[in-house]
Every structure is written in C-alpha cells, then in structure tokens.
Structure 1
Amino acid sequence: MAIKTNYQSVNVEIEGEVGWISLNRPKSLNALQSDLMLELVQSLKELNRDPAIKIVVLRGEGRAFCSGGDIKTMLSMDGEDNFQKIMDVISELSMTLYTMDKITICSIHGAAAGLGLSIALASDMVVAEEGSKIAMNFIGIGLVPDGGGHFFLKERLGEKKAMQLIWSGEVMNGQEAYAIGLIDRVVAENKGLDEVKKLVHNFQSSPINAMLETKSILRLGQSRELKKFLEAELEAQWRMRQTEDHQEGIKAFVEKRKPNFKGK
C-alpha cells in the first residue's frame, strides 16, 4: 500500500486500484476548515487523474466522519471577499467529488452533519454505522445548506422530503437515515469499514468500466444542475448571514443553549 505524505489534514493511501482518503482532524471531529477542504480537493483531483484507480473511499479518522463546518472558520467569514473565497472552495469540493470518473464510497461513523453530510452525499454510495448521527442541521444556526446539500437531498429524497428534512434539522441514526433512503447501507457499530471493503471487493469483481460508463451517462446534465444549486446556495448563505436569527443561532451554539429565533 502506497501512502501519500504530502498532506497534513488528510491521509491518502493507494491500494492497487483503490484510493483511500481519510479526513484527519480527529480532535475537532474532522470539522471542515480551509486547509482541510483545500487538501481534500487536491487529493481527490490527484486520484481522479490516475487512470489506474477505479474506486475512491472517503472516511474520517477518530470518533466521527465529519461534524460539519468548523465554527471558527464560520465566525471568520465576516467580509464578503473572505466569504466568497471559502464558499468557492466548498463548491469546488462538492463538484470535484460528484463528478469524479471513479466509483466513490463514503463511510460514515459518528457524526456526519451539515457540510459533512453534503460531502458524504456527493459520493456514489454512502455506508453508515447504525449509531451514526446524521443531520442537515444548518437551520439550527439560521442558515441554509451549502456544499450542494439541497441538490443531493433532492436527488435522494425528492423535493418535498428534502425540504422538510432541511426545515427540521432532524438528527437521525443510521437506521433512520437508511429507512428514508438517505443512505445506501447501514451496518452495526464498528462494522462500517468491513462493509466498505466488501463493496470494494464486489466492485473489483464486476465489469467496473461498464459501471463507470453508466455513471457518466446518468450524470449528463446533472453537474450543470449542481452548479446552479451551488450558486443559489452561495447567494442564500450570504443573505442569511446578515440576519439576526443567524447571529442568535451562532451565539446559542457557542453558549450551548437553545436559540431564540424571531424570524428576522
């Protein structure tokens, strides 16, 4: 197994035709900040350029897959230029993962929340352990999903269910997420990696080139739609960040209390 060592916030390992990428900020539950997202984009593009690699697996080190956007990064997004730069990275990350000409698998354990869930859903297949905490919980801080969250939820659940899930910000375990069709496989605790390895083996024993052709055909036009969703999310995020409700949501999050929203 070849190990890529030129990254700080992600671990990349190559095993034959499989690339394994691990988010590597375990102390923050792999919260997404600029350095991690930039390295993740770079590593995904690097693997995508390698014709020998057919499958890419995305997972998280430590106790969780990804707890969402890093709160410190969010607090620093006060200027429009800074906000635009970070949102551009988020959009590039989602678009890069979604359009890869590889089979992509995401393995969820622990939290997969907010932007972390958007990234997970950009993968072709999502495997989650039954005790996972899965949530599109932007509503709790008065924001809308980013990273293509609207697009991916709509694709998997349909428009009405996607809207209701975003509005509620409900936290689901793996079984609940599987029951509504949000994820593709649910497994017992600590068995996520075993299930992913089984999937990888099954894919390697299949006519994988034909499978990738099918992926390419089904994605015709979808990448353009995703781009439109990402642009709409950027505009909506900026508007919502100016609201009193968002400021209250962030303050309540930091103070670990229930927010008092006023619809302003």
Structure 2
Amino acid sequence: MTDQPILKTINGNVATLTLNRPKGFNSFNREMALLFQDELKACDKDDSIRAILVTGEGKAFCAGQDLKEVTTPELNPGFKKILKEHYNPIIELIRNIEKPIVCAVNGVAAGAGANIALACDIVIASEHASFIQAFSKIGLVPDSAGTFFLPRLIGFQKASALMMLGDKVSAKEAEELGMIYKVFSAEDYFSEAEKTVQTLSQMPTKALGMTKRLLNQSMTNTLTEQLELEGKLQIEAAQSEDYAEGVDAFVNKRKPEFKGR
C-alpha cells in the first residue's frame, strides 16, 4: 500500500477516493486535506467520471483533525487556516460537485470525519462503524458543516444532545435516526456501496446533479423560490439527451442507456 494520503482508483465511470493514513486513523493533516480537494476537483472536471465513492483505509473511516499537527508548533497551520483552507473547501466541493458522492464508512467517523461523511449524498456503513461529534470532548465546537447538516438529518434536539455530550452513535442507531442511508455487515458493506455507486454512475448524471442542486437550495429557499427553481431545472432536464433516451426506452420497453448528457 502506497503512503500517498489519498488513493484514487477508477472503475468504469466511478472514481474511488480512499483516505489513506491508517496509522493515524485517517485523520486529516494539511497534505491530506489539500490532496483530497485536488482529487475531488479532478473528478468534477472529468466527464468520464459520473459518480464518486469515498472511503477509508484500515480500521477507521476518519478520526477528524490530526491533533499531532495542531500541537506541533512548526507544523500547526492554525485553526483559521485549517477551517478556511482545509475543511470548508472540502464540504463545499462535496455539495457543489454535480455528481453523486457515496460514502462507505468502514469504522469510526469522528469530528470532522463524521461531518465529511454526512455531507455526502448517500452514506452506507459497516455494522462496525460509528459516528461521534467529538468536538466537545476537547473544548471545541462542531465544524465542517456539522451544525448545518446534522439537525436537518435527525432533528434539532437529538443533534444538540449528540454535539454537546459527544455520544458515540452506532451504525445501526445512525440508520434508525435517518443520519445515514443503510448499514450492512462488515463483509458486505463495501460491495453494497460499490453496487450503489455503480448504479448511480449509469443513471442520468445531469438530472442527478440538478437534483443535488435542488436539495442544496431547499436548505434556504422559500417554497416559492424552490418551486421556481424546480421548474427551471425541470425544463433544463427535459432538454437533455438522457431524458430523450429515458422516454424512448420507456415507450419501447427496453433498458435505457444513459450517457450523462
């Protein structure tokens, strides 16, 4: 296994990005954060990539920030730079790339690691995975959009308790709360995640991207604004090659072959 902090593999129309600092439970340092951004941007620009899978190497998905970095004076970028240049751009990329991003959580997802997972479009977890808003344990506040997404996923009261108490949430409980999509056995979760992302990679990419845009805007739009945006994007989707293919396939009772155009 290479010591590159982010591994990238391509299978068909799917790019898999693996967080690869297993000895540090895939915690983020500056090198890893910037490389992750670079790889996400490359996936965004590559039209042959129509879906992205994010996972972690080893026992953990991601333990959040590498505390060794922030407690070593000559390495510490400072929290202002860490948030502005590391985590905030990662979250923005995950939400603004108009391709589906599936997260396969193999183990613990803590702090920023948990919130990066929750920012993805679909989260599939191993039965051994867990999610922890660990910030309060060391006197910090949640970042990486945790305070934005978690209350919307599971409700204000539950999110408040998890963030203040720092309780560990099992994969099963996360699924029951609506925090994640599905949980599978440790043997099956990754193959199920791969099936999901491969399915998405063969679907109408433009329509999925516009759906993602609508979901993003629904966080802040009024009902009227959302209806107007739905109308605008529906007209745009109806002009795509994939729409024409989908209708033709339906009429002729055959399986559609979407091209992402």
TM-score (norm 2): 0.77
Shift of 1:90: 1.4
Shift of 1:160: 2.3
**In the alignment, is residue 104 of structure 1 matched against residue 98 of structure 2?**
no
Shift of 1:85: 1.4
Q: Give the stretch that moved more between structures: 72-81 or 27-36.
A: 72-81
Shift of 1:92: 0.9
CA distance in 1, matches of 2:75, 2:36: 24
CA distance in 2, matches of 1:79, 1:36: 14
**In the alignment, is residue 215 of structure 1 matched against residue 212 of structure 2?**
yes
Paired residue type of 1:51: D
- RMSD over aligned Cα, in angstroms? 2.4
Paired residue type of 1:34: R
The equivalent position to 1:199 in structure 2, one of 196, 209, 213, is 196
Q: Counterpart in 1 of 2:83?
A: 87
Shift of 1:48: 0.6
Shift of 1:109: 1.1
Q: Counterpart in 1 of 2:170?
A: 173
Shift of 1:78: 10
Answer whether contact 1:12 1:21 (CA < 8 A) is retained: yes
Answer whether contact 1:99 1:223 (CA < 8 A) is retained: no
CA distance in 2, matches of 1:223, 1:37: 28
Asked which structure has the greater CA Rg, the reply is 2
TM-score (norm 1): 0.76
**In the alignment, is residue 155 of structure 1 matched against residue 134 of structure 2?**
no
CA distance in 1, matches of 2:109, 2:181: 14
Answer whether contact 2:175 2:182 (CA < 8 A) is retained: yes
CA distance in 2, matches of 1:111, 1:175: 13
Paired residue type of 1:99: N
Q: Counterpart in 2 of 1:60?
A: 56
Q: Give the stretch that moved more between structures: 152-161 or 46-55.
A: 152-161
**In the alignment, is residue 14 of structure 1 matched against residue 10 of structure 2?**
yes
In the alignment, structure 2 segments of 5+ residues that lack a partner are 222-261
Paired residue type of 2:28: L
Paired residue type of 1:198: K
CA distance in 1, matches of 2:175, 2:164: 19
The equivalent position to 2:130 in structure 1, one of 133, 155, 165, is 133
Spell out, residue by residue over 1:150-209, the C-alpha distance to the aligned partner (whole angstroms, 9 max, x if none). 111022112222112111211121101111111111101132211112212332453343
Shift of 1:222: 4.7
Q: Counterpart in 2 of 1:35?
A: 31
Answer whether contact 1:95 1:223 (CA < 8 A) is retained: no
CA distance in 2, matches of 1:43, 1:205: 21
Runs of at least 4 residues of structure 1 off by over 6 A? 77-81
Paired residue type of 1:87: L
Answer whether contact 1:127 1:183 (CA < 8 A) is retained: yes
In the alignment, structure 1 segments of 5+ residues that lack a partner are 225-264
Answer whether contact 1:65 1:108 (CA < 8 A) is retained: yes
CA distance in 1, matches of 2:73, 2:118: 25
- Provide the identity percentage: 33
CA distance in 1, matches of 2:216, 2:185: 31
* Aligned pairs, number: 219
Answer whether contact 1:10 1:24 (CA < 8 A) is retained: yes
The equivalent position to 1:146 in structure 2, one of 143, 146, 153, is 143
Q: Counterpart in 1 of 2:120?
A: 123
CA distance in 2, matches of 1:16, 1:79: 39
Q: Give the stretch that moved more between structures: 202-211 or 34-43.
A: 202-211
CA distance in 2, matches of 1:83, 1:115: 13
Spell out, residue by residue over 1:210-262, the C-alpha distance to the aligned partner (whole angstroms, 9 max, x if none). 222211222227599xxxxxxxxxxxxxxxxxxxxxxxxxxxxxxxxxxxxxx
Answer whether contact 1:77 1:83 (CA < 8 A) is retained: no
Paired residue type of 1:119: I
